């Protein structure tokens, strides 16, 4: 396996910082959630199209994808589209902090998916770090969890969004062993954008007629949390498994809470400060004691390829 151009954990940090802006841009836009999600992916694909000409081999890799790889990429795009719709809708019913906390509880699903599909094993201390970080997330969102009603409905949508994006990462972990990041990402984003546009039309929403500022937020969503967030994750998932990426994403609520305070005046409460500190400690513990597992990841993935292929 070739060496990454930059340290994967540094790339993970950059990606987490980038996706911390996502909920902010969604909240700033006035368009329906499905329209925001659709244009986020459409603009992302448009921004990536020059890569077909600037980066050698993209056309040939896409053309050489076999039937199984195409089906996996299609499902990956559908899962990503579902993730965006569910999460953006959740922001209409619950707070930014609570929604972001729940949508980043991906490790709950990635622990299970990594075990069954890739035969991954976590050390006890790494697993403890994961549990601690997840506990910190619940500390941050505890206020909304007690409210119930429509806030609870928004929380459920966010949790479902976490499941959808975990399935997206698991497919990416498998696919990135055989396909470069740009071809895979471009195909998945294209499928996702088509899925979202069709969903918008089915729901009867208009694709035009939105305020000028909305188009700025659509573009910002494509550039920052998608190209500088999700695309970086799609690149590093060749070297860091789904569980590790999901653990890193647990840091997103911290960045989002800070931005929500600066932009919307949402107060950062004492539980949120405590939860943020707990999350950071849990992530540190996970990364510190998951290094041995990371070095064996390639062998574990190869040994379980047959199992993953059966999943496909």
What is residue 182's predicted lDDT score, i.e. its pLDDT? 94
pLDDT of residue 134 exceeding 80 = yes
Give which of 26, 165, 31 is closest to 90, Cα–Cα.
Answer: 26
Which pTM was predicted?
A: 0.85
pLDDT at residue 231, as a whole number: 94
Angle separating helix axes 107-118 and 242-249, nearest 10 degrees:
170
Length of the chain: 312
Confidence check: pLDDT of 78 > 90: yes
Query: Which is higher by pLDDT, 73 or 260?
Result: 73
Q: Helix crossing, 96-103 with 149-175: angle to 10°?
A: 40
Burial class (CB in 10 A: 0-12, 13-18, 19+), 54: exposed
pLDDT at 265 (0 to 100): 84
Q: Is the pLDDT of residue 235 over 60?
A: yes
Residue 216 above 70 pLDDT?
Answer: yes
3 phi/psi in degrees, rounded to 5: -80, 145
Please compute the mean of the pLDDT values over residues 115-137 and round it to a whole number: 89
Residue 72 has pLDDT above 60, yes or no: yes
Over range 150-163, report the average pLDDT. 86
pLDDT score at 121:
85
Region 179-193: mean pLDDT is 96
Report the percentage of the chain scoring pLDDT > 70: 89
Query: Residue 18 has what pLDDT?
Result: 95
Lowest-pLDDT range, 87-101, 271-285, 288-302? Answer: 288-302
Indicate whether 64 pLDDT > 60: yes
Q: Can you tell me the distance from the alpha carbon of 188 to that of 77, in angstroms, rounded to the nearest whole number?
A: 5
Domain boundaries, the chain: 8-311
Least confident of 86-100, 125-139, 231-245, 276-290: 86-100
Q: What is the pLDDT of residue 209?
A: 95
Q: What is the pLDDT of residue 2?
A: 63
Provide mean pLDDT across the span 69-93: 91
End-to-end Cα distance, the chain: 23
Distances (CA, A) of 308 to 177, 235, 257: 12, 20, 37
pLDDT of 194 > 70? The answer is: yes
Say if CB 40 and CB 276 are below 8 A apart: no
Task: Please state at what angle helix 124-147 crosses helix 96-103, rounded to 10 degrees.
Answer: 150
Asked if 229 and 19 count as a contact pair (C-beta separation under 8 A), the reply is yes
Output the average pLDDT for the chain. 86
DSSP per-residue string spanning 229-252: IIHHHHHHTTTS-HHHHHHHHTTH
147: region left, alpha or beta (phi > 0 left; psi from -120 to 50 alpha): alpha
Q: Is the pLDDT assigned to residue 147 strictly greater than 90?
A: no
């Amino acid at each position: 396996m070739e060496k990454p151009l930059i340290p994967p954990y540094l790339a993970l940090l950059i990606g987490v910082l980038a996706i911390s802006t996502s909920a902010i841009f969604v909240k700033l836009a006035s368009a329906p959630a499905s329209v925001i999600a659709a244009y986020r992916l459409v603009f992302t694909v448009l921004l990536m199209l020059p890569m077909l000409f600037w980066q050698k081999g993209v056309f040939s890799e896409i053309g050489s994808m076999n039937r199984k790889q195409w089906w996996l990429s299609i499902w990956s795009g559908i899962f990503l589209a579902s993730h965006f719709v569910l999460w953006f809708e959740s922001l209409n019913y619950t707070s930014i902090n609570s929604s972001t906390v729940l949508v980043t509880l991906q490790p709950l699903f990635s622990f299970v998916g990594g075990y069954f599909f890739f035969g991954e094993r976590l050390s006890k201390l790494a697993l403890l770090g994961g549990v601690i970080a997840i506990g910190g997330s619940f500390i941050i969102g505890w206020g909304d969890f007690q409210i119930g009603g429509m806030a609870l409905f928004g929380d459920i949508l966010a949790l479902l969004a976490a499941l959808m994006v975990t399935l997206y990462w698991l497919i990416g972990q498998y696919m990135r062993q055989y396909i470069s990041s740009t071809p895979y990402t471009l195909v998945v984003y294209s499928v996702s954008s088509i899925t979202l546009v069709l969903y918008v039309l089915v729901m009867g929403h208009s694709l035009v007629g939105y305020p000028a500022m909305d188009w700025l937020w659509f573009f910002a969503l494509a550039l920052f949390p998608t190209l500088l967030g999700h695309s970086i994750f799609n690149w590093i998932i060749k070297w860091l498994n789904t569980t590790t990426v999901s653990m890193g994403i647990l840091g997103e609520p911290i960045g989002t809470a800070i931005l929500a305070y600066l932009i919307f005046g949402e107060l950062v409460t004492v539980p949120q400060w405590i939860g943020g500190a707990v999350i950071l400690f849990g992530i540190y513990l996970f990364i510190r004691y998951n290094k041995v597992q990371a070095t064996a990841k390639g062998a574990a993935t190869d040994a379980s390829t047959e199992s993953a292929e059966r999943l496909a």
